[in-house]
Structure 1
């Protein structure tokens, strides 16, 4: 957890310090939110729902960071061109070893071999 997230999550009074009371309150609130039936206990379904919600929140953060990185026109959305540009351009540039604007079979084979050598998977060229 980075510093900003830590303070956003726990420094509820915004004083730049996190107290034990703030952490305890955050944990109690998280428990209460997960306790769907309000019985003061978490059953398997409630724990699964809590885990699913945390996983979805992390995925949402990843997508936000992805948009921040790739959104060339800064409209908060990714066009097909913006989405394709980053990955495809980088891959093309890596494969086009001599920068002639063309990927040859030899360049593709060399990149594949380099990947295998790097992974150390022991497969041989065929």
Structure 2
């Protein structure tokens, strides 16, 4: 899968509620946590970094909601093979997975991802006609944008595009057993 196609899938996956790290996680294994120490944030993957660079129209290192929507709308238009203003699952999948070098991905993992992506695709398809339009996509994209805008400044930074999960620090559990009396 090319970086552009992977970025498109990531952008649409984010808009569909799958999270910014869905495809990078499929493309490469997450390295094991380092030795003893504090919890460590997972770095932003190359797909999210590229998405930030492509969407950042004024090159200020931040992506506004308008910039994010413009970038997503352009990708949507490119994926709309028949140019009818709606994206079918087949168009989405064909665009996202076409061209580029084949990667070795666990087939079971890929199937689970596709099942989740199809479920989210159906959820965004508000009128249940088998096509997602930009009118249907926009509320989801805006909600995802707002959920990532942690500091509420109406723009996303590199830090806000990083996955929101944190690896726990290795070591003993912090849960204490109840005391016997």
TM range (shorter): 0.3 to 0.5
| Larger RCO, structures 1/2 (Cα 8 Å, 6+ apart) | 2
Answer with 1 or 2: which has the greater Rg.
Answer: 1
Query: What is the TM-score when the length of structure 2 is the normalising length?
Result: 0.27
Structure 1 or 2: more helix by fraction:
1
Query: What is the TM-score when the length of structure 1 is the normalising length?
Result: 0.38
Structure 1 or 2: more strand by fraction:
2
